A and B are shown apart, each in its own frame.
Chain A
Amino acid sequence: DIVVTQSPDSLAVSLGERATINCKSSQSVLYSSDNKNYFAWYQQKPGQSPKLLIYWASTRESGVPDRFSGSGSGTDFTLTISSLQAEDVAVYYCQQYYSTPFTFGPGTKVDIK
């Protein structure tokens, strides 16, 4: 099974500042046949269901604010919130869907400093 790790476990960022979350998979999730990274980012606000933010590692889901961006390839990925807003307080999860079981990272809790 592919193991996905996240760092940090939590972070507190001032409003308007940048937040960066990192994920690492235990093996590459880049599929050579289509040159796509099978990697996604989700946001889960307190008491709510998860919401897809980014797929194919860097493609923003429709309706997601452009302050959210995803980058990386192979085994190392980053979610960046360029200017943190109050409504971004949530737990963020990464997931690989390259190989079953499609494992999630343990989550990163983002708060306002």
Chain B
Amino acid sequence: EVQLVESGGGLVQPGGSLRLSCAASGFTFSSHAMSWVRQAPGKGLEWVSVIRGSGDYTYYTNSVKGRFTISRDNSKSTLYLQMNTLRAEDTAVYYCAKNNDNSSYSASDSWGQGTLVTVSS
């Protein structure tokens, strides 16, 4: 059974940093692209970033480019999202998702329960 468990969310001041982690199990982690998708309170889904299985290709939505960094440690089956220079508009539940292929250009077939990031002074 696929399991994705996010951690690292919390309350942070504007301009601050957080690192989210997603511990994966139940599948061959290195064979799948992984994504981060966020959802602001009461709003729709917003795709944030994706990383290929080998970690060699990464893509970001425009609003987080230069501030967020997606990475993975295949030896630990863990996905990360380093978030710097956080803004109020980054406040959201952040979901880790497994893609159904090694290619970044694939759909997300399993999702974690999400971790809440609140950016506020």
Contact = CB atoms under 8 A, between A and B. Distances in A.
Interface of A: 1, 38, 40, 42, 44, 49-52, 55-56, 61, 91, 93, 95, 97-98, 100-107
Contacts of A107: 44-45
Interface of B: 35, 37, 44-47, 50, 59-62, 95, 97, 100, 104-114
Given A49-B112, A51-B111, A52-B110, 4 more contacts: A38-B105, A55-B106, A55-B107, A104-B45
Contacts of B61: 100-101
A44 B95 CA distance: 13
Contact of B107 (A1, A40, A105): A40
Contacts of A103: 47
B55 to A, nearest CB: 16
Contacts of B105: 38, 97-98
Contact of B62 (A93, A101, A102): A101
Given A93-B44, A95-B107, A102 B112 contact: no
Contacts of B109: 52, 55, 61
A44 B35 CA distance: 17
29 contacts: A40-B107, A40-B108, A42-B108, A49-B95, A49-B111, A49-B114, A50-B97, A50-B111, A51-B111, A52-B107, A52-B109, A52-B110, A55-B106, A56-B107, A61-B109, A93-B44, A93-B45, A95-B45, A95-B107, A97-B106, A97-B107, A100-B59, A100-B60, A101-B62, A102-B35, A104-B44, A104-B47, A106-B44, A107-B45
Nearest to B96: A49
B111 A1 contact: no
Nearest to A100: B59
Nearest to A102: B47
Nearest to B45: A104
Most buried by B among A55, A97, A98: A97
Given A49-B114, A52-B107, A101-B60, A95 B47 contact: yes
